[in-house]
């Protein structure tokens, strides 16, 4: 696609429920990233994919968080047993590979998750 697409744009869920967030990167972008941004805060790294592999999962806050990517395309971020502190905007970004490192990330518009 022309840009990075994320769905849903907004999600309100009850504490304890599971949620699944989706990201469609730019076609041909081999690298895909998930970040979390709490209100008024900076971007917190969660995980990135190179192709379908996740070389760095160090940012996942707990084992309630998981992510996968298939076909070097769509990625889903799953949060199990959501807690109120999970409320944030979840941003997905994609980029070309290391060889084209001077390209920045292209971000999606994000999913605003509210846990009530």
Shortest distance (Å) from residue 89 CB to another protein:
9
* Closer to another protein by Cβ: residue 14 or 39: 39
Structure tokens at 102: 């001077």
Shortest distance (Å) from residue 56 CB to another protein:
6
Is the backbone of residue 96 left (phi > 0), alpha (psi -120 to 50) or beta? beta
Residues in contact with another protein by the rule CB under 8 A: 31, 33, 35, 41-45, 48, 50, 55-56, 91, 93, 95, 97-98, 101-110
Contact 74, 32 (CB under 8 A): no
């Amino acid at each position: 696609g022309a840009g990075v697409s994320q769905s849903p744009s907004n999600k309100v869920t009850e504490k304890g429920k599971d949620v699944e967030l989706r990201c469609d990167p730019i076609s041909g972008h081999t690298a895909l990233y998930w970040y979390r941004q709490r209100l008024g805060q900076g971007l917190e790294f969660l995980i990135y994919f190179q192709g379908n592999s996740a070389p760095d999962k160090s940012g996942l806050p707990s084992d309630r968080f998981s992510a996968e990517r298939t076909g070097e395309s769509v990625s889903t971020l799953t949060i199990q047993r959501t807690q109120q502190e999970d409320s944030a905007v979840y941003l997905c970004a994609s980029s070309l590979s290391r060889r084209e490192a001077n390209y920045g990330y292209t971000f999606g518009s994000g999913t605003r998750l509210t846990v009530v």
